Amino acid sequence: MPNIWIGHGRLTDDPELGHTESGKAVTHIRVLVLRAGDPDRADVFEVVVYGGLAEKTAIYLTKGRWILVEATLRQSATDERRSRIEVVAKGVSFLDAPDAETEKTGP
Protein backbone atom coordinates (compact mmCIF):
# COMPACT_ATOMS: atom_id res chain seq x y z
CA MET A 1 0.00 0.00 0.00
CA PRO A 2 1.43 3.43 -0.90
CA ASN A 3 2.54 5.84 1.78
CA ILE A 4 0.52 8.97 0.93
CA TRP A 5 -0.67 11.81 3.16
CA ILE A 6 -2.80 14.66 1.81
CA GLY A 7 -3.63 17.70 3.90
CA HIS A 8 -5.68 20.79 3.01
CA GLY A 9 -5.55 23.75 5.33
CA ARG A 10 -4.06 27.09 6.33
CA LEU A 11 -0.51 27.94 7.32
CA THR A 12 -0.29 28.81 11.00
CA ASP A 13 3.02 30.70 10.61
CA ASP A 14 5.28 32.07 7.91
CA PRO A 15 7.50 29.34 6.41
CA GLU A 16 11.02 28.99 7.83
CA LEU A 17 13.72 28.49 5.17
CA GLY A 18 17.02 26.91 6.07
CA HIS A 19 19.62 24.62 4.54
CA THR A 20 20.92 21.17 5.34
CA GLU A 21 24.63 20.64 6.02
CA SER A 22 25.01 19.66 2.37
CA GLY A 23 23.42 22.96 1.26
CA LYS A 24 20.00 21.62 0.24
CA ALA A 25 17.10 24.03 0.91
CA VAL A 26 14.64 22.95 3.59
CA THR A 27 11.49 24.74 4.73
CA HIS A 28 9.34 23.91 7.75
CA ILE A 29 5.65 24.78 7.61
CA ARG A 30 2.77 24.19 10.02
CA VAL A 31 -0.63 23.44 8.48
CA LEU A 32 -3.94 23.70 10.35
CA VAL A 33 -6.29 21.01 9.00
CA LEU A 34 -9.96 20.85 10.01
CA ARG A 35 -11.18 17.43 11.13
CA ALA A 36 -13.61 15.71 8.76
CA GLY A 37 -17.14 15.76 10.17
CA ASP A 38 -16.22 18.17 12.99
CA PRO A 39 -15.41 21.66 11.66
CA ASP A 40 -14.99 22.98 15.22
CA ARG A 41 -11.88 20.83 15.76
CA ALA A 42 -8.58 20.92 13.92
CA ASP A 43 -5.10 19.41 13.97
CA VAL A 44 -1.79 21.11 13.25
CA PHE A 45 0.78 19.18 11.22
CA GLU A 46 4.43 20.09 10.90
CA VAL A 47 5.55 19.54 7.31
CA VAL A 48 9.09 19.50 5.91
CA VAL A 49 9.69 20.64 2.31
CA TYR A 50 13.03 20.09 0.50
CA GLY A 51 14.80 21.46 -2.59
CA GLY A 52 13.41 23.96 -5.06
CA LEU A 53 9.91 23.48 -3.69
CA ALA A 54 11.21 24.54 -0.27
CA GLU A 55 12.56 27.78 -1.73
CA LYS A 56 9.30 28.57 -3.57
CA THR A 57 7.26 27.78 -0.48
CA ALA A 58 9.37 30.12 1.65
CA ILE A 59 9.23 32.93 -0.92
CA TYR A 60 5.58 32.87 -1.93
CA LEU A 61 3.65 31.60 1.11
CA THR A 62 2.73 33.49 4.27
CA LYS A 63 0.74 32.82 7.42
CA GLY A 64 -2.95 32.24 6.72
CA ARG A 65 -2.61 31.05 3.11
CA TRP A 66 -4.66 28.04 1.97
CA ILE A 67 -2.54 25.16 0.70
CA LEU A 68 -2.82 21.50 -0.29
CA VAL A 69 0.10 19.27 0.69
CA GLU A 70 0.85 15.90 -0.89
CA ALA A 71 3.36 14.07 1.28
CA THR A 72 4.78 10.85 2.59
CA LEU A 73 5.13 9.90 6.24
CA ARG A 74 8.53 8.97 7.63
CA GLN A 75 9.08 7.47 11.07
CA SER A 76 12.31 7.88 13.00
CA ALA A 77 13.30 6.81 16.49
CA THR A 78 14.05 9.57 18.98
CA ASP A 79 15.18 7.10 21.66
CA GLU A 80 14.52 3.48 22.66
CA ARG A 81 10.87 4.03 23.60
CA ARG A 82 9.77 6.90 21.38
CA SER A 83 9.51 7.64 17.71
CA ARG A 84 8.49 10.60 15.61
CA ILE A 85 6.36 10.76 12.48
CA GLU A 86 7.60 13.32 9.95
CA VAL A 87 5.40 14.63 7.13
CA VAL A 88 7.66 15.13 4.09
CA ALA A 89 6.09 17.14 1.27
CA LYS A 90 6.32 15.91 -2.31
CA GLY A 91 4.04 18.67 -3.60
CA VAL A 92 2.55 21.92 -2.29
CA SER A 93 -0.31 23.61 -4.14
CA PHE A 94 -1.08 27.27 -3.43
CA LEU A 95 -4.88 27.47 -3.29
CA ASP A 96 -5.50 31.18 -2.89
CA ALA A 97 -4.00 34.43 -4.10
CA PRO A 98 -1.64 36.28 -1.78
CA ASP A 99 -2.97 39.23 0.17
CA ALA A 100 -1.44 42.36 -1.40
CA GLU A 101 -0.48 43.70 2.04
CA THR A 102 1.33 40.56 3.19
CA GLU A 103 2.80 39.30 -0.09
CA LYS A 104 6.55 38.70 0.07
CA THR A 105 8.67 40.01 -2.72
CA GLY A 106 10.01 37.30 -5.00
CA PRO A 107 13.50 36.89 -6.39
pLDDT digits (tens, 9 = 90+) for 47-95: 999 999 999 999 999 999 999 999 999 998 888 888 888 999 999 999 9
**Average per-residue pLDDT in the chain?**
90
Whether the predicted model's global pTM rises above the 0.85 cut: no
CA distance 96 to 107: 20
> b or e along 18-30 (b: 16 or more beta carbons within 10 Å of the residue's beta carbon)?
eeeeeeebbbbbb
Q: What are phi and psi of 97, to 5 degrees?
A: -80, 150
Looking at residue 103, its pLDDT comes to: 53
- Which band of pLDDT confidence, cut at 50, 70 and 90, is reported for residue 107? very low
Three state DSSP letters for 23-41 = CCEEEEEEEEEEECCEEEE
